Amino acid sequence: MLAFSNPVGAGTLWFHNLTTAEGTPVAYDPQARTFLPMPPFCANREIIGCNWIAPEEGAFCRACAMTALAPDPTLPNAMENWAVTEAAKRWVLDNFGRWHWFRPEDSGMRPIFHMLADGHTLAAMGHGDGVVTISVSEADPVVRVTRREALYEPYRTMIGHMRHEIAHMLWWRLSLREDFLLAFRDMFGDERTDYTAALQKHFDQGPPQDWELFYLTSYASSHPHEDWAETAAHLLHLTDITDSFVATGLTSPELPRHNWDPYSEPDCALLINVATALAARVNHINRSMGLSDLYPFALSETAHRKLAFVHGWLRRGALGF
């Protein structure tokens, strides 16, 4: 994620800022990728702290307009959790926008979001026919950590959920291309395998003993659809870790050049090698404070090939059709 200049003075603005340090209201323009000090601001600004601009006064921004179903505000903490979830969504939409997905130049369908709060039953997250369903309850760190530990996962965040579920939606869009489907099945396997049965087997029996040799996560081993979504999410993790590192002015001998843009890098092997080297350094820093690793994963040779496959298709973007 980029760091942004202050449009009304000195200093840096960060992606979630609503005001400058001096208190001037600002909003993010996702098309120009800059902050503006003037309305129209998103209609959700006062409701959930959305800091994007809107096309006109009283309208929703590009991101909020994708939410067709909001959580029940009478449920405990629903609005606070929704605000955190929408912030994660904006971050990830901007990530995908670096490859021209879901921007005005993209003529394809946008994801439709159903944001649900847990009531008497848990809200299941997933994707189906362009609709991304997210449980905003996981914005609560206690809920999220409880579920992460129950599922033996090393990493679970709202940004991670958004990257994973939107990746499912992009697979759905890409699957309209026969050349994509043929190449996908050669790399990931046949997605026509019974999905429900495959997930049930995974939760009943666990992953194969040697899953680390072929998959980025144990969950990726459950079905080709999940392998794609996990791989795409990890591609974004690694690209955005690197982009954020560069944006903050940090330097490292692995970086190819000054002001290198990881999102425009065509060489996936170079991108991943730089990203994993930087992640290892930050992992070491985190350990000095007793914190979890920033990126607690190891990449096999097969994982590298899958990341390169996803990179090739996502980097060509919506304009590659």
Q: What is the mean pLDDT of residues 2-31?
A: 94
Q: Tens digits of per-residue pLDDT, 188-212?
A: 999 999 999 999 999 999 999 999 9
Kindly indicate the confidence band of residue 319, based on its pLDDT and cuts at 50, 70 and 90. low
pLDDT of amino acid 120 = 52
Determine the Cα–Cα distance for residues 89 and 162; give it in Å rounded to an integer.
6
* Strand partners of residue 240: none
SS (H, E, C) 219-262: HHHHCHHHHHHHHHHHHHHHHHHHHHHHHCCCCCCCCCCCCCCH
The answer to whether residue 87 sits within a structural domain is: yes
Distant-in-sequence, close-in-space partners of 80: CB < 8 Å, separation ≥ 6? 139
Determine the Cα–Cα distance for residues 211 and 190; give it in Å rounded to an integer.
18
64 contacts 43 by C-beta, under 8 angstroms: yes
The answer to whether residue 9 sits within a structural domain is: no
The answer to whether residue 128 sits within a structural domain is: yes
The answer to whether residue 180 sits within a structural domain is: yes
Q: Tens digits of per-residue pLDDT, 80-119?
A: 999 999 999 999 999 999 999 999 999 999 999 999 998 6
pLDDT of amino acid 121 = 62
227 contacts 189 by C-beta, under 8 angstroms: yes
Q: Is the pLDDT of residue 306 over 80?
A: yes
Q: Give the mean pLDDT of the chain.
A: 94
The answer to whether residue 315 sits within a structural domain is: yes
Q: Tens digits of per-residue pLDDT, 52-71?
A: 999 999 999 999 999 999 99
Backbone angles phi, psi at 320, to 5 degrees: -85, -5
**Ramachandran bin of 29, using left for φ above 0, alpha for ψ from -120 to 50, beta for the remaining angles:** beta
Number of domains in the chain: 1
Kindly indicate the confidence band of residue 292, based on its pLDDT and cuts at 50, 70 and 90. very high
Q: What is the mean pLDDT of residues 42-53?
A: 97
The answer to whether residue 291 sits within a structural domain is: yes
Domain that holds residue 184: 61-319
Distant-in-sequence, close-in-space partners of 202: CB < 8 Å, separation ≥ 6? 219, 221, 222, 223
> Tokens in use for 223?
């079905």
The answer to whether residue 47 sits within a structural domain is: no
Q: What is the mean pLDDT of residues 209-218?
A: 95
Which DSSP category does 113 fall into? Answer: E
The answer to whether residue 34 sits within a structural domain is: no
